[in-house]
Chain A
């Protein structure tokens, strides 16, 4: 599988669904829901922590058009997790569909189903609830040892030890140490230490959470949902609703963005239980306020980072101590926490000792969950900020300290259990980024008059590609009776374009035009198993499965073709839609082969099938460079230019990869400069609309420029690694660095607002 001469892979092919979704064809969940479906609405807790004393739905039920109202008394009693993870999930089973105890403002109290939205909302007002209001835990730094225990229930369950200590409000704890960190710090010439606070960030995908449910002709529950994880949702629903999984079918139509948010099954159970209770179709659509305040966000964290180096700038010791706020429920608490260390410590590979310790704590706020970057984002902010500080203390150029210390191909890591780094072009990414941003002339800063300073800053980052020894995907591809192909995968295109790039890969292997492939995905009834689109898996893992399956089919086609042509297998090749003898004398079209095998007496439909597991999770890399302009009178930071140079291995589809990178960088810019989930003193979210929660608009992002420095990952399909998440990580540390270089203020609490910069300047 060498590059060069490829017809599909490496080409900027338009997404197969692009024209339909761009021109507004009805292909999203709400568009295909039955118009007479019951409308499902949720009555939510006004208190951050309370026990329901009584709940009276009788007046609401009398309202004409109200079909069904459910409270905690009406739902199954088995706890589950909504985390989108492979079973056995490393997340506590701490949820019920509705619970007697409500744990954050917005937690669900009752499910209402009515003939239309107005009726449902009127019914909601008629439900009388009496609460015993309890003291909430709102400050995550006070959670451990707080008098309030967020999850006191006896039946809270974990599948295996994740360090949960519920009496301490600890959902999960993690410790990893290689070498003697304290001893190593003593030997270092320079040690820097600081505390960093990356904030909670909202996904703010444009299509809010929604699901549509109905019973099919055999009485099975069909769930059409905007999700990244159809198979996990099926398993969650089976557990939550106490049904056999075989009685549930999950279908994913087109999705209006996810970013990890839809890796948590936020809404499906509410519509599902209504359909089961009433036998009727049901549709739940979260409004923007619910999407902001009743789903998940990125984990807010406190990270103490310590980095030590010898006098030559060789980094010898890294210590990260993390406190992560998982909010009211523990979805993804353990895994996001562990990824903080997992995706930062191997960046630098001349270390002699590294340590990573952390706790994820319960608080009475909206749960945190999966969000693009998944702990690496927070860890990168802390580690890269500390390394920038270290470079300054050593009197070294920040790019030089990276080039001196980064991991190289063929190396192993202290924390990597002997796995070799198969590919990296990070050194080239750094060199290229330096050149593109004009580092030589611009570092660290220059006055440009009018009391304004321009400065540059940088950071590097890594992620994984799939989850080693857990991630798996299957794919099936078959030659149809008309000579065309059907590709079945469980991969979950959420706008990212995997339906297209997986087709590109299959087309490349089979040497056929992409138009001859029909791709079917995202249906638990027909798709082969795939955990879903998360953990930067799809290109690498699902792509690997597609390549294997396509090769298997190709071998079968060649074998049949050689038989029909009466020559040996070595004497045939595939070319376009024919099997041809190497000499070129004879050929047979795939349509003819299909006809002779599938129809009549052939008795053989040719199918390629493969399951791909991954033993490793090869890291993609990004070197990010920011140029900012800071107004010294006001502290206002304007992003002028952002350069990100990406190593994602082989680029399968350059345009789609570029958009992924640009979008991830801009989400990172939002986190660095504008976005913050805020609560008032009573624990009510204050930032529950786009009026208060500021995602970047097109005037806020300056110029973002992407370049690719391809490497070749030997374990990846066509040499590819992942790209979806790694691109989100560099903006916070690179922009913070640039701001420091401009005005000497280190903003360690994200986002970097003008107030913080201004107040910081007053203290200098």
Chain B
């Protein structure tokens, strides 16, 4: 079936299967930043924005974004790079596989929360798993980023 959506600020018309998940649709259209790693909607790697809110794209049917605005990290290159510079300065991307989803959620948090406490940051990002870094470096990077420090 056909859906019309705004993907990274461009209006597109895509053919999708009725049981197709958004993560697969996005990858099939070359948005390869979107990673999948769990099949149980609990790792956070596939995080993208629908109507500017973080969603797990592996867990939403593509037909449900008909008429909506979808954003992947490819759609926010400037902001993503800005945080990625902080993240990589800390070394806390390590394997990088979870980073795009993580970055999308960090950016969503930045838009949503005003001066979040450490506890609020951890709570907001809990759904983004990472097996490499042990999370400490990511937290340092987020705090630096929110604090506006230049890298």
Contact = CB atoms under 8 A, between A and B. Distances in A.
Given A23-B80, A24-B34, A26-B32, A666 B39 contact: no
A494 B94 CA distance: 8
A23 B89 CA distance: 14
Contacts of B32: 24-26, 30-31
Interface stretch (A386-394, A398-406, A582-590, A688-696): A688-696
Contact of A17 (B33, B38, B96, B130): B96
Contacts of A206: 35, 37, 43, 45, 95, 97-98, 129-132
A665 B134 contact: yes
A662 B134 contact: yes
Contacts of A23: 33, 73, 77, 80-81, 84, 99-100, 103
Contact of B91 (A205, A288, A658, A664): A658
B18 interface: no
A254 B97 CA distance: 9
Nearest to A203: B131
B97 A256 contact: yes
B42 A691 contact: yes
Interface stretch (A40-48, A136-144, A242-250, A697-705): A697-705
A26 B29 CA distance: 13
A667 interface: yes
Interface stretch (B5-13, B49-57, B108-116, B118-126): B118-126
A207 B97 contact: yes
Interface string A655-674: 11011001111110000000
A291 B132 CA distance: 17
Given A25-B33, A257-B132, A690 B90 contact: no
Given A205-B131, A259-B131, A662-B136, A22 B38 contact: no
A696 B138 CA distance: 14
A169 B33 CA distance: 46
Contacts of A256: 35, 37, 95-98
B59 to A, nearest CB: 13
B96 A254 contact: yes
Contacts of B125: 698
A21 to B, nearest CB: 3
Central interface residue in A12, A21, A496, by most chain B CB within 10 Å: A21
Give the size category of A's interface with B: 35 or more
Task: Give the contact-size bracket for chain B.
Answer: 35 or more
Taking each of B43, B123, B136, which has the highest tally of chain A beta carbons within 10 Å of its own beta carbon? B136
Contacts of B123: 699
Contact of B103 (A22, A254, A653): A22
A663 B133 contact: yes
B35 to A, nearest CB: 7
B94 A690 contact: no
A208 interface: yes
B87 interface: yes
A206 B131 CA distance: 7
Which of B91, B92, B103, B135 has its CB near the most chain A CB atoms (within 10 A)?
A: B91
A273 interface: no
Contact of A288 (B39, B74, B100, B137): B39
A203 B73 CA distance: 27
A659 B92 contact: yes
B74 A690 contact: no
A65 interface: no
Specify which of B74, B81, B97, B128 lies most central, judged by the most chain A CB atoms within 10 Å of its CB.
Answer: B97
Contacts of A207: 35, 37, 95, 97
Given A22-B96, A26-B33, 13 more contacts: A18-B87, A19-B85, A20-B96, A22-B93, A22-B103, A23-B84, A256-B97, A659-B133, A662-B134, A666-B135, A698-B126, A698-B139, A699-B126
Closest 4 CB pairs of A and B: A24-B33, A21-B96, A495-B95, A256-B97
13 contacts: A21-B96, A23-B103, A24-B73, A24-B100, A28-B97, A206-B97, A206-B132, A495-B94, A663-B94, A663-B131, A663-B133, A663-B134, A689-B40
Interface of B: 32-35, 37-40, 42-43, 45, 72-74, 77, 80-81, 84-85, 87-100, 103, 122-123, 125-139
